[in-house]
Amino acid sequence: MDGSSPSELPHRYGVYGVLVASGLELAELDTVTRAGAPERPVVRLELADPAAEGGRGAARPRGRLDCADGPVEVLDEETGGLLLVSQRHGVCRVSADGSAVTCAPEDPSRPAWRRHLLDTVLGSAALRRGMTGLHAAAVTIDGRALAITAPTGGGKSTLAAELLRRGAELLTDDLLFVAAGPAGVEAHAGPPFISLAGAETPPRAIGETVAVIGDRRWIRVRRRPPRPSPLSLVVALERDGRGSGAELEAATPDRLLSCALDPGRARGRLLERFDVLSSLGRAVPVLRLRVGARTSPARAAALLESHLGVAAHVG
């Protein structure tokens, strides 16, 4: 890293509620103009030589992320920074406060690496810049944001894709970042992509497949320029039995904790996450959507639309 200040870097993008000032062009993200840039935490992103960034030093193992195209080791550095190490994607470093990200990919043009950057790496930086994260997909329907949580492989992206086909707009897939805003707890947009199982053929109304990564299709979704949206509903998606039914019922707000992303060990960040999730639980209904193994995404989507009182626009 050459220590460039954010103002000296040529590219500026908005994602996950932060402003990414980058030396690398990221055509996948929404560009933010200097004149119209809203006030938001800044993350400086630069590339480094893979040979110079290969060492782990005295970093301590913290855990492992199982991603679509292979595991990512997570290590804590002595400086408080985060080290993300992948056999396929090389090394990325996130500073202790998330303000600086350095990546050393062998080939920064590879779609699999760019997906890793947009998801795992910038998501980690957003957490450290003070955003509260949920493992969730989110769409907007008639201007209202709906979040869908589920375990990995639990079908949240499939349900989100069906809602897109029926007229919703994508806010984010997999990682949802929220923060207190003027209208309550606001959901911030992620990259304009959704990842679906390779066996699922995405309708043309959603977008186009950019790459096949592992067993997933990485699909660029057509959408209007997004803006922060107050959350109106959080739905916990659960598979229940072998049937084809769908049932929506109230859930307790503590369900939010089960899908909250780890903000780090700093006490202040843990308390901040608790405050945001408490505000979200008080202001926004949390429901459980129980579906059978044979329940179609269309049936589950129709139930959600009925609850929200909106008409579907199925293409």
What is the predicted pLDDT for the residue at 176? 96
- CA–CA separation, 4 vs 123, rounded Å? 22
pLDDT over 90 (residue 3): no
Residue 252's alpha-carbon distances to 45, 99, 178, 282, in angstroms, are 39, 35, 19, 10
- CA–CA separation, 126 vs 263, rounded Å? 9
Mean pLDDT for the chain overall: 87
Percent of the chain with pLDDT over 70: 89
User: 310 or 41: which carries more pLDDT confidence?
Assistant: 41
pLDDT over 80 (residue 81): yes
pLDDT digits 0-9 by tens, 240-267: 877 888 999 999 888 888 899 887 766 7
pLDDT over 90 (residue 183): no
Q: Vertex 202, ends 25 and 286: CA angle to 5°?
A: 85
User: 268 or 139: which carries more pLDDT confidence?
Assistant: 139
Average pLDDT over residues 13-41: 85
pLDDT over 70 (residue 312): no
What's the pLDDT band for 69 if we cut at 50, 70, 90? Answer: confident
Average pLDDT over residues 138-155: 90
Q: H or E element: which one contains 68?
A: none
Per DSSP, which regions of the chain are E strands? Answer: 11-15, 18-22, 30-31, 42-47, 60-67, 70-76, 82-86, 90-94, 100-104, 132-141, 144-149, 169-172, 175-181, 184-188, 193-197, 207-213, 216-221, 229-239, 246-250, 286-291
CA neighbor of 220 nearest in space, from 26, 80, 55, 32:
26
What's the pLDDT band for 158 if we cut at 50, 70, 90? Answer: very high
What's the pLDDT band for 57 if we cut at 50, 70, 90? Answer: low
DSSP annotation string for 105-165: -S-TT-HHHHHHIIIIIHHHHHHHTT-EEEEEEEEEETTEEEEEE-STTSSHHHHHHHHHH
User: 125 or 215: which carries more pLDDT confidence?
Assistant: 125
Q: Which domains does the chain have, with CATH numbers?
A: 6-129 (no CATH), 133-308 (3.40.50)
* Residue 140 token pair: 């907007």
CB atoms within 10 A of CB 34: 7
Going across the sheet that includes 30-31, the strands are 30-31, 11-15, 18-22, 42-47, 100-104, 90-94, 82-86, 70-76, 60-67
What is the predicted pLDDT for the residue at 239? 87
Percent of the chain with pLDDT over 90: 53
What's the pLDDT band for 56 if we cut at 50, 70, 90? Answer: low
Q: What is the pTM of this model?
A: 0.90
What is the predicted pLDDT for the residue at 315? 47
User: Which of the residue ranges 4-8, 159-163, 266-270 would you say has the lowest mean pLDDT?
Assistant: 4-8
pLDDT over 80 (residue 299): yes
pLDDT over 60 (residue 149): yes
Could you give phi then psi for residue 150, rounded to 5 degrees? -170, 155
Looking up tokens 């806010």 gives: 171
Average pLDDT over residues 111-132: 94
